[in-house]
Structure 1
Amino acid sequence: MDTATKDRTAQLPQVTDPRNAGIELDLAWVRAAQANTSAIERRAATLPARRSVKKDHQAAWLLKAITCIDLTTLAGDDTPGRVHRLCAKARQPVRRDILEALGMGPITVGAVCVYHEMIAPAVEALRGSGIPVAAVSTGFPAGLSPFHLRVEEIRESVKAGAREIDIVISRRHVLTGNWQALYDELRIFREACGEAHMKAILATGELGTLRNVARASLVAMMAGSDFIKTSTGKESVNATLPVSLVMIRAIREFHERTGHRVGYKPAGGISRAKDALNYLALIKEELGNRWLQPDLFRFGASSLLGDIERQLEHHVTGAYSAGWRHPMG
């Protein structure tokens, strides 16, 4: 395989498995999906209490978490310079001295996620690294711009070099139970993505119930989403363990029925290393080791990386350092 081909394929979701082509909308399956809220909350509450990964094992899990981060900047004051600095951090997310002390070679994050206007500087800064650029799209975060503009925004981002597109669904379709409209919308988005991989953001904090989360997850996968993602990070409630459990079990059921593996991305509010360990443990217990790879699991985060690097330095030196020693950009 030539170098150009490697650069096009490295670290993209689903590079070792066929993409989720989607299936016809199965309304009976969607309507049968339920969620026992009290049982889900009890199951989620046990996870942090049972987590016992320590010392070298904890360091190894934290290094795994880094490779699954979509390093993100979605600020109104983003500049090409800021994006270039973030991409430099994506290429070398942990200081070399820490990696050497851990006996590790170079690692990178899973992707860099930006607004459409910042795709070009991100592509330039990441050239040759194999790290894909992800772009938020379809009127992010509300998803309420005219439909034809949302579709065209996807096409423009793909043309600009984005290899992953994080789209937002129309929440009203979920809240009114219009599953056909949600499916049709996502199929059009999926077609507009072309070879770029589509992450469907459900904005779970605005869907009302866990049952709605389960049903929206199934519809998004039936429509061909490569990933389902919790949140834009702009809602009042973002990623939580109960929501994650519902979405992960929907992924498991979809795989069991169709054979298609779909990725999962919790986003928003995940800023501490111990939170990352909880999500990784949940993935391992519910989906297995295959989903612990960056082609099937991502964190949508920015400050998370800084805390992980700080914890790794503590593991190596025995002392906590100041946050400024691990800048994001």
Structure 2
Amino acid sequence: MQRIGNLLGCFLFMVAVMIIFSAGCASAVENARQGQDILLDTYHRNMAQLETNSFGFPLFLESFERGNRVHVDVYGIFDYPFDSVINELKEPANWCDIASLHTNVKACTYKELPGTWLLTFYIGSEVYQPPEKTDRVVYHYRNVEQQQGYLDITFNADAGPFSTKDHKMRLEALQLDEERTFVHVSYEYSDSALLRFAEKIYFLTLGRSKVGFTVAGTDKNGKPIYIGGPRGAIERNAVRYYFAILSFMNTLCYPEESRFNMRISEWYDIAGRYKKQLYELDKLDKKDYLTFKTKEHMNQVTLQMSIGTGTQ
């Protein structure tokens, strides 16, 4: 049972890994103008949620399960000009610095091939692990559209663990005004009968206390009951990645040699506000997180050097 829990826990992280970018079901037929209009309409319809929510940030999320698909959307506002946001987020290499803030990402590398970029994530447990002890997930990066006031990036993987397939991740950014950018991060995948069976066992036993951010109701004392299961898992990871993007952007104004240490410190502090959902931080003290992230960053630099600049 413990082994099932460990395997499933690792997988659920992997399916949200870059939580950050799902191409929704209709995205294949959307052109850039449709995508921009849809995102602007989403912003107008949800202004109240962005202003008043439980996060303490202009942030809200939605998720659903439909058949064998699990999907999450995260929306938020960055207090940075659109140009500064897209200049950073359109660079494949920067996603490695973002993703590796997450407790389960042990390293990330990037490489350019003819017509595409590959990003490899080394996925492991919450404690320190060298890259050779991790699982690897490879995504194809594509800048779908960049135009005045709008950016659309996708990441795709045909197959994943536990016979999952059709992993689609997406990032959209929309200019609101001279100082603010509306950001949409999402993820979806198709699961398997094996995973469904493992999930059912896991969330009834070892994972029964793990919840997401969507309120499903209230208990007899009027306290919120949060969604659990696969939806809760993918919500947790989506929020972890949103905080990683935010921490990355917040440290760009500092000298480059100081940014990494500031990012890992800020990510831990922000994520640590949500102990009910991001429960593992109760067991992972900040000093330990900073120590193992520093070691993993050194491993990441070594791996990238072995690949080259990413342009070969």
- TM norm. shorter chain > 0.5: no
Relative to its length, the structure with more helix (as a share) is 1
| TM-score using structure 1 length | 0.32
